[in-house]
């Protein structure tokens, strides 16, 4: 029981630290549904000379592709892709204002899409307390910073792994549905052919009464 209490305290401390880091980071990371003949736009306020990254991936639906366009506040097109499955684009804001990222499925008439998007703004902040003093950082602070970077990389790898797993599971389910449908159709066709053959053979071996002509 003591060990469980220590684990819970450590988990609470880690959650608190992650919460503080999330509050310092401006980012939009979400998975949303994009219906057929639909268009979804997301907006992010960015200051001048700030480096941002837009990353997306189509998880499920159709041919796993969408149209993407990234615009500056003055409607200048910074990035455009047509029928793309996944991509990443990094840019530096040339002006203050609200930047928009739009995902379009208007070319599809019946396929719903599930899209993952990560719109991160600015650099990853350092750990609290690191870099706040004028002296050289200690070995412990350097190790903590490296661990922080490694944990961020692990989180990114886990996110992409979950996306690939969801995409593979959806494809497997679609393949299973097609195989099941085709198997049912083949079974029905075999049964119909068997019944037809029985009826034809039965007709061949059925005795016919002679035709009597009356004068």
Alpha-carbon distance values, 54 to 34, 37, 93, 121, 173 (Å): 17, 23, 12, 9, 30
Percentage, residues of the chain above pLDDT 90: 30
What residue segments make up the domains of the chain, in order of their start?
1-25, 26-123, 129-203
Given CATH 3.90.1300.10, say whether it is the number of domain 26-123.
no
Q: Name beta bridge partners: 159.
A: none
Mean per-residue pLDDT for 201-213? 68
* Residue at token pair 């840019």: 91
Q: Retrieve residue 57's tokens.
A: 């991936």
Cβ(61)–Cβ(114) below 8 Å: yes
pLDDT digits (tens, 9 = 90+) for 37-75: 899 999 999 999 999 999 998 888 888 889 999 999 999
* Residue at token pair 């992409």: 160
Q: What pLDDT is attached to residue 128? A: 60
Average pLDDT, the chain: 77
Q: What pLDDT is attached to residue 97? A: 92
Would you say residue 6 has pLDDT above 80?
Answer: no
Radius of gyration of the chain (CA): 31
Would you say residue 139 has pLDDT above 80?
Answer: no
Burial of 52 (0-12, 13-18, 19+ CB in 10 A): buried
């Amino acid at each position: 029981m003591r060990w469980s209490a220590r684990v819970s305290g450590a988990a609470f401390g880690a959650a608190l630290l992650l919460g503080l880091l999330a509050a310092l980071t401006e980012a939009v990371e979400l998975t949303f549904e994009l219906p057929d003949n639909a268009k979804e736009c997301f907006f992010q306020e960015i200051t001048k000379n700030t480096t941002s990254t837009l990353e997306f991936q189509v998880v499920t639906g159709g041919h796993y592709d969408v149209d993407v366009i990234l615009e500056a506040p003055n409607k200048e097109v910074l990035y455009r892709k047509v029928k793309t499955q996944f991509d990443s684009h990094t840019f530096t804001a040339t002006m203050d204002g609200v930047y928009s990222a739009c995902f379009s499925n208007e070319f599809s008439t019946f396929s719903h899409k599930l899209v993952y998007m990560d719109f991160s703004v600015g650099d990853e902040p350092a750990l609290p307390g690191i870099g706040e003093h004028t002296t050289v950082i200690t070995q412990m602070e350097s190790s903590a910073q490296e661990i922080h970077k490694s944990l961020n990389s692990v989180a990114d790898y886990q996110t992409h792994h979950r996306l690939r797993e969801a995409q593979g599971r959806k494809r497997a389910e679609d393949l299973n549905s097609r195989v099941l449908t085709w198997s049912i159709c083949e079974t029905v066709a075999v049964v119909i052919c068997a019944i037809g053959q029985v009826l034809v053979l039965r007709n061949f071996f059925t005795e016919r009464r002679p035709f009597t002509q009356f004068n």
